[in-house]
Amino acid sequence: MSMLVLISLGCAEPPTLADRFGDHAFLTPIDAPPTVALVAGGELDTRAATCGGCHQAHYQDWSQSTHAAAVHDVQFLAELAKPDQPRWLCLNCHAPTSPQRAETITASTRLASADSILTLQTNRNPDYERGRTSEGVTCAACHVRRDTDGAGTVIGPHGSGKAPHRVRHDPAALEGVCVSCHSPGAEIVITPTFPCWFTTAEELAAGPSAGKTCVACHMPSAERAVVVDAAPRSLRRHTWAGGGIAKTAEGVATAVERGFVSGLDVTLAPMAVTLTNARAGHSLPTGDPERFFLVEATLRDDAGAVLAADSLRIGQTWDWGDAATGRPARQTADNRLTAGEVRVWTPRLTGRVGTMTVTVTSVRLTSDNAAEMAAVTLDAELQELWPALPSVLAAPMAAYPRSIVVFEGTLALGPT
Ligand code: HEC
Ligand code: HEC
Ligand code: HEC
Ligand code: HEC
Ligand code: HEC
């Protein structure tokens, strides 16, 4: 008996993705065919620029969004360059459709070995088109799926009969598409040092905005033309301004125009700073566990000299574990503002005279981490994903947006 077990173990192939991790959408790329069927016959390729040829307003919005920059990002590529990152898995959400991927990955794809998730046993993907990986979260990630006959169709919110391409009316599918990447399932452990910790939908469901969709806040309506030359009507913007820290300086400068609204309200009273998560239906910050707010209070005398200063960090802290010793990653603290939460912070500033200045900075990446990213060497495969990267890295890292100031205010307490 024990002999048999030994033999079967010896011959066993490494597990499939489904065996190892169960059933999660993010384990495989989205099965979106490389073309959609045209109503009059023939087909249309699903590159963003092709869709954008007719849907110009949507394309312009999307081009400046972080979805379009999900691969064109110094931090993302630098993380991928680390030897312990499962690139295939990162790309499942950052370059998510099958034509963007060189290899075919399905739930029955096997890991290359039982004790590592870094590589898979894959075949060349016949639908792969060079150059498409860089499109990041492209139109097709949300809009293109297979029809019952296997041909590509466009998932639409209205079911227009005026489109030259097939349309499947499915507003619920479109509204629900966000969650598969932004809330893939709380606390899934990919490896002990790599937990998946995006819980935006769970945070939303637990708060006062439960029932609202991500689309309601992140895709505000605006009057525009659905296709070139059409009369303007109320359509959804495709900017996803989010936390307002776009990946380019221009994106940061235009964030408000593209719909960025700070989720935070700040009011000042003598020695008290009231912070309210007034507009984000989820925690502030949400998403990437490395995002945080830095609240800084400074007390100055009438001549401007600093009398005292204090600061508060609002975010998560993590011990990222140690792959070598097997110490698992774990969250060590979380003082984020939950949806609707009102928190009064009393900075330790001695004396009740002078002027109190309060600044709140939203940070997605610290300057130390940014410098580390810039120093990473990328292999040819990663370099090909963003040919313009060398020029971005040649500019001072300070030009790469990492944080924005979301509040600045002063309160006179009394002459010194
Ligand atoms: C389940 C889908 C999913 C997977 C898998 C995934 N990501 Fe992401 N990633 C996201 C989403 C959603 C965001 C946006 C969250 C935010 O901006 O706070 C994001 C944001 C990021 C960012 C930008 C963070 C910021 O604050 O702007 C980096 C860098 C990143 N991911 C790297 C990776 C790497 C490296 C991997 C693989 C180890 C990976 N991601 C795997 C969904 C995913
Ligand atoms: C992250 C997901 C996502 C991506 C990427 C995306 N869209 Fe959309 N799109 C949506 C959602 C959601 C709606 C419907 C919103 C609603 O009305 O509920 C929509 C609506 C539309 C509509 C219908 C008219 C309107 O604005 O309501 C068009 C046309 C459209 N998108 C085109 C595009 C094009 C072209 C691209 C790429 C340049 C693109 N979309 C990328 C999610 C996405
Ligand atoms: C040749 C021009 C053209 C191209 C290319 C094109 N579309 Fe369209 N699309 C249209 C027209 C026209 C409509 C109908 C607009 C209306 O209802 O007035 C439409 C409608 C839509 C809608 C709304 C469907 C609904 O529910 O009413 C979506 C979403 C959409 N297109 C997405 C895409 C995507 C994604 C691509 C790329 C794969 C794409 N389109 C390529 C012309 C085009
Ligand atoms: C296929 C995976 C995927 C889907 C589907 C998806 N996202 Fe994202 N989203 C991402 C990734 C990855 C990023 C981060 C890109 C980066 O920072 O490089 C992101 C970034 C964002 C951001 C910007 C965060 C910031 O502060 O810059 C917002 C807001 C957002 N997504 C909202 C949505 C909404 C709303 C939907 C549904 C209509 C949606 N996403 C669907 C993967 C996805
Ligand atoms: C009630 C409105 C509202 C709803 C609903 C909402 N958001 Fe947000 N979201 C915001 C606001 C406001 C911000 C800007 C927060 C800030 O000040 O940085 C934000 C920021 C973000 C960010 C950037 C990270 C950050 O903390 O700044 C991501 C990613 C995001 N939202 C994803 C989602 C997803 C995914 C959903 C649906 C599950 C969703 N949001 C639902 C209002 C909303």
Tens of pLDDT, residue by residue over 290-344, are: 999 999 999 999 999 999 999 999 999 999 898 889 898 899 999 999 999 999 9
Task: Say if residue 27's pLDDT is above 80.
Answer: yes
Which ligand is located closest to the Cα atom of residue 227?
3
Residues 267/274, Cβ–Cβ less than 8 Å: yes
Of residues 76, 122, 86, 82, the one with CA closest to residue 102: 122
Task: Say if residue 175's pLDDT is above 90.
Answer: yes
Query: What's the confidence (pLDDT) of residue 187?
Result: 67
Residues 295/358, Cβ–Cβ less than 8 Å: yes
Task: Say if residue 9's pLDDT is above 70.
Answer: no
Q: Which tens digits make up the pLDDT trace of 55-71?
A: 999 999 999 999 999 99
Query: What's the confidence (pLDDT) of residue 12?
Result: 79
List of residues 6+ apart from 162 with CB closer than 8 A: none
Best probe residue, ligand 3, of 100, 138, 227, 234 (max atoms within 8 Å of C-beta): 227
Confidence of residue 190 (pLDDT cuts 50, 70, 90): confident
Distance 381 CA to ligand 4 centre (A): 24
Best probe residue, ligand 3, of 154, 155, 162, 215 (max atoms within 8 Å of C-beta): 154
Weakest mean pLDDT among 180-189, 236-245, 402-411: 180-189
Residues 377/320, Cβ–Cβ less than 8 Å: no
Residue nearest to atom 39 of ligand 1 (CA): 90
Query: What's the confidence (pLDDT) of residue 186?
Result: 63
Mean predicted confidence (pLDDT) in 24-42: 96
Q: What rounded mean pLDDT belongs to the chain?
A: 92
Task: Say if residue 83's pLDDT is above 90.
Answer: no
Task: Say if residue 345's pLDDT is above 90.
Answer: yes
- Beta carbon of 156 within 6 Å of any ligand 3 atom: yes
Total Cβ atoms within 10 A of residue 268: 16
What count of residues does the chain have? 416
Query: What's the confidence (pLDDT) of residue 193?
Result: 80
Report d(CA 215, CA 170) in Å as an integer.
Answer: 14
Task: Say if residue 2's pLDDT is above 60.
Answer: no
**% the chain with pLDDT above 70:** 97
Report d(CA 346, CA 310) in Å as an integer.
Answer: 9
Mean predicted confidence (pLDDT) in 1-11: 47
Distance 156 CA to ligand 2 centre (A): 8
List of residues 6+ apart from 17 with CB closer than 8 A: 27, 28, 105, 106, 107, 108, 109, 110, 111, 120
**% the chain with pLDDT above 90:** 79
Query: What's the confidence (pLDDT) of residue 4?
Result: 44
Mean predicted confidence (pLDDT) in 379-393: 89
Query: What's the confidence (pLDDT) of residue 130?
Result: 87
Amino acid (1-letter code) at residue 312: L
Atom of ligand 4 nearest to the CA of 72: 18
Query: What's the confidence (pLDDT) of residue 389?
Result: 87
Report d(CA 339, CA 227) in Å as an integer.
Answer: 37
Residues 354/413, Cβ–Cβ less than 8 Å: yes
Which ligand is located closest to the Cα atom of residue 174?
2
Report d(CA 18, CA 80) in Å as an integer.
Answer: 23
- Beta carbon of 285 within 6 Å of any ligand 5 atom: yes
Query: What's the confidence (pLDDT) of residue 10?
Result: 52
Q: Which comes out higher in pLDDT, residue 224 or 396?
A: 224
Task: Say if residue 285's pLDDT is above 50.
Answer: yes
Query: What's the confidence (pLDDT) of residue 414?
Result: 87
Report d(CA 210, CA 53) in Å as an integer.
Answer: 37
Report d(CA 284, CA 314) in Å as an integer.
Answer: 8
Report d(CA 295, CA 285) in Å as an integer.
Answer: 13
Query: What's the confidence (pLDDT) of residue 241?
Result: 95
